[in-house]
């Protein structure tokens, strides 16, 4: 008999049940290399050179370089690629889609040459600073690992099963769905549990369902003996299949004011507003053969808004010096976000039993029961939370050789371990567990290099390179709180990221056009779930992500 459990986020769920992890924090804290084609073509290394609309998002003082008005809009086309390799089983996901890079303007106001203050400039820029677009797929045999082990460990320490596990905030939805789908069970008495806990505080009284009358070891390596009629034999050595689709992005709206003092000192401030739209669908399946197995589908969304403040300065150490030194600091982005989720689990295990009335769901639950399906439907739940991203520190250098060559270099640092979750009232205590796991993140260094060479005054060639170190420590894993409503257990530990860029530009008396090409690549180690074996993760799926982007900017200077 197939058992189908459909959960749409319940309105009755209390605020104490959280869903966020460090992977959500890292995802929302990062930014892509994007903006005008000139900025991208030079690898974004324009913090000290300035004179480009996009610089108000990296070093706000760069807008102080302007001596005329500017308006620009950018369009792009991106080809995304993901290659996964699980124990020799390779799979590819490729997709091409259009992008909207940026739209902005700068209004330059000359104050005069009498006072030290020469120009006061105002700017606005919109750009998509982060694309969440990603497709992922893997298949293969799991060996001795199973997601049901994760479900069992999430239920560890319960004295008894809650009357309504979906609303009592005592257990995570993943465990509740596994229990109702006959994927995990409690096979020992409370007395046995107390004795085991005295020896090992991490012992879980909930274990993956047992079958076939075999003698096996439990999660702590101890032999388990059961009387006839009980099911013994952990679900393992199943064939797994996973696929996911991520969509959406982060839109940034920058409002800037910048000042030029004596053509040597430039100061700027930018207030940034952010809009987040993130959507994820994941499908995970374990097939044990003989018609037994289960699949779990999860839909989740994160929406909301945030703001930050960026301060910047550019200094010419010597009057008329071709060298410029830039400094900038960005406050954390203060996000206010909503998380929504729903999930569906279909189970075909223990299909020889009559389980019509043994779903473990209380009789007063809202829904409709048929022979094969139990649905719980009660509108949308919105789990509200706040997120504070890391501070950003940026040092940049710019150097010009005559009127033909411009060189830029930047170093940027973010300490991702400083991210912090808070509840909607601003208190961090509610997310004490989630914030305690942020030590799996580390400080990230980004290096940007760029060059522009004017072949003739009207035409320029550009090239750039970026390197960004890994956000995650090597042993990082996705650790859901015991009462989490999140049911997608997959995670990927991304490694260093590289951007390679090329560009060409035309400058007329008013009109200009720039074209850039960007190639982004990074590797990651993907896991469908944490194994809880206490030693290491299961065999990783080796993933290579790439993005090729062509960007066109059209603009006017007047």
- DSSP per position, 367-379: EEE-SSEEEE---
Domain-ending residue, one of 234, 252, 286: 234
Contact 312, 61 (CB under 8 A): yes
Same domain? For 440 and 504 the reply is: yes
Of 499, 541, 385, 558, give the one whose Cα is nearest residue 41.
499
> Residue 373's pLDDT is what?
38
Q: How far apart are alpha carbons 209 and 110 in whole angstroms?
A: 76
Q: Which residues pair with 194 in a beta bridge?
A: none
Task: Compute mean pLDDT per 10 residues along the chain, 558 residues long, and list them.
Answer: 51 52 92 96 96 96 96 96 91 90 94 90 96 94 82 71 69 82 61 56 48 39 40 59 94 97 95 96 88 86 96 92 95 95 80 32 31 38 86 97 94 95 86 82 96 95 97 87 86 95 95 97 92 62 95 96
| pLDDT at residue number 215 | 36
Show the tokens assigned to 387: 């997120």
User: What integer pLDDT is reported at residue 424 of this predicted model?
Assistant: 86
Give how many domains the chain has, as a whole number: 2
pLDDT at 17: 58
DSSP single-letter state for residue 472: B
Residue the block writes with tokens 């969304």: 301
Same domain for 96 and 67:
yes
Residues 301 and 427 in one domain: yes
pLDDT, residue 183, reads 77
DSSP character for 197?
Answer: H
Of the three residues 234, 263, 289, the one that is the final residue of a domain is 234
Q: Give the max Cα distance, the chain.
A: 98
> Same domain, yes or no, for 38 and 103?
yes
User: Do 249 and 225 belong to one domain?
Assistant: no
Whether 477 and 527 have beta carbons less than 8 Å apart is answered as yes
Q: Where are the alpha helices (DSSP H) in 111-222?
A: 147-154, 173-180, 190-199
Residue 246 and residue 227 share a domain: no
Q: Is residue 540 part of a domain?
A: yes
Answer whether residue 82 is part of any domain. yes
Task: Please report whether residue 502 resides in a domain.
Answer: yes
What is the C-alpha to C-alpha distance for residues 550 and 502, in angstroms, rounded to an integer? 10
From CA 84, how far away is CA 541, in angstroms rounded?
Answer: 6
Phi, psi dihedral angles at 43 (to 5 degrees): 70, 15
Q: Residues 426, 289: one domain?
A: yes
Residue identified by tokens 């939805």 is 173
- Sign (positive/negative) of CA torsion 527, 530, 531, 534? positive
Specify if 142 maps to a domain.
no
Q: Is residue 78 part of a domain?
A: yes
Residue 372 shares a structural domain with residue 273? yes
- In a shared domain, residues 374 and 482: yes
Q: Domain check: are 452 and 541 in the same one? A: yes
| Same-domain status, 478 and 530 | yes
Task: Decide if 548 is inside a domain.
Answer: yes
pLDDT at 198: 64
Question: Residue 509 domain-assigned?
Answer: yes
pLDDT of res. 450:
97
Assigned domain for 461 exists: yes
Contact, 494 vs 472, CB < 8 A? yes
Three-class DSSP labels, 273-328: EEEEEEEEEEEEEEEEECCEEEEEEEEEEEEEEEEEEEEEEEECCCCCCCEEEEEE
**Which candidate, 29, 130, 38, 28, places its Cα nearest to that of 78?**
130
Instruction: Round to whole Å and give the CA distance between 408 and 46.
Output: 6
Q: Are residues 226 and 245 in the same domain?
A: no
Interatomic CA distance for residues 430 and 18, integer angstroms = 9
Are 314 and 65 spatial neighbours (Cβ–Cβ below 8 Å)? yes
Domain CATH number, residue 369: 2.40.160.60
Range of the domain at 208: 147-234
Domain end point (choices 234, 252, 267): 234
pTM of the predicted model as reported, rounded to 2 decimal places? 0.84
């Amino acid at each position: 008999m197939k058992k189908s459990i459909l959960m749409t986020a319940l309105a009755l769920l209390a605020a104490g049940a959280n869903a966020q992890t460090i992977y959500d924090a890292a995802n929302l804290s990062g930014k892509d290399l994007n903006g005008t084609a000139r900025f991208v073509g030079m690898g974004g290394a324009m913090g000290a050179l300035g004179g480009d609309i996009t610089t108000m998002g990296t070093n706000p003082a760069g807008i102080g370089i302007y001596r005329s008005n500017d308006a620009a809009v950018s369009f792009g086309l991106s080809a995304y690629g993901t290659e996964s390799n699980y124990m020799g089983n390779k799979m590819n996901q490729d997709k091409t889609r259009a992008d909207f890079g940026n739209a902005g303007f700068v209004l330059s106001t000359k104050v005069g040459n009498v006072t030290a203050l020469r120009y006061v400039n105002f700017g606005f820029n919109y750009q998509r600073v982060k694309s969440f677009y990603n497709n992922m797929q893997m298949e293969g045999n799991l060996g001795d690992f199973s997601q049901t082990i994760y479900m069992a460990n999430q239920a560890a320490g319960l004295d008894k099963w809650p009357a309504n596990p979906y609303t009592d905030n005592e257990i995570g939805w993943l465990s509740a769905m596994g229990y109702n789908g006959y994927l995990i069970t409690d096979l020992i008495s409370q007395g046995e549990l107390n004795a085991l806990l005295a020896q090992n505080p991490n012992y879980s009284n909930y274990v993956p369902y047992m079958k076939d009358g075999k003698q096996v070891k439990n999660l702590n390596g101890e032999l388990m003996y059961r009387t006839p009629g009980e099911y013994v034999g952990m679900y393992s050595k199943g064939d797994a299949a996973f696929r996911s689709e991520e969509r959406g992005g982060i839109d940034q709206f920058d409002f800037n004011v910048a000042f030029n003092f004596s053509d040597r000192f430039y100061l700027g401030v930018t207030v940034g507003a952010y809009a987040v739209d993130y959507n994820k669908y994941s499908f995970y399946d374990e097939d044990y053969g003989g018609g037994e197995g289960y699949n779990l589908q999860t839909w989740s969304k994160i929406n909301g808004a945030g703001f930050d403040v960026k301060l910047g300065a550019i200094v010419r150490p010597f009057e008329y010096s071709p060298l410029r030194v830039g400094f900038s600091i960005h406050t954390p982005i203060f996000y206010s976000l909503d998380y929504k989720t729903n999930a569906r689990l279909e189970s075909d295990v223990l299909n020889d039993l009559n389980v019509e009335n043994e779903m473990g769901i209380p009789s007063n639950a809202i829904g409709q029961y048929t022979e094969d399906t139990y649905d719980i439907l009660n509108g949308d739940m919105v789990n509200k939370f706040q997120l504070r991203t890391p501070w950003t520190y940026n040092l940049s250098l710019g150097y010009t050789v005559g009127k033909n060559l411009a060189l830029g270099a930047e170093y940027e640092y973010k300490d991702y371990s400083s991210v912090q979750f808070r509840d909607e009232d601003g208190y961090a205590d509610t997310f004490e567990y989630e914030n305690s796991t942020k030590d799996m993140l580390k400080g990230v260094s980004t290096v940007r290099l760029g060059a522009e060479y004017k072949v003739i005054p009207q035409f320029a060639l550009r090239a750039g390179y970026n390197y960004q170190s890994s956000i995650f420590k090597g042993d990082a894993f996705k650790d859901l709180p015991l009462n989490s409503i999140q049911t997608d257990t997959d995670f990927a530990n991304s490694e260093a990221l590289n951007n390679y860029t090329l560009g060409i530009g035309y400058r007329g008396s008013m009109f200009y056009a720039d074209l850039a090409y960007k190639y982004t690549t990074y590797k990651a180690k993907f896991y469908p779930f944490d194994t809880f074996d206490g030693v290491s993760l299961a065999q990783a799926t080796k993933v290579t992500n790439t993005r090729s982007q062509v960007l066109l900017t059209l603009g006017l200077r007047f």
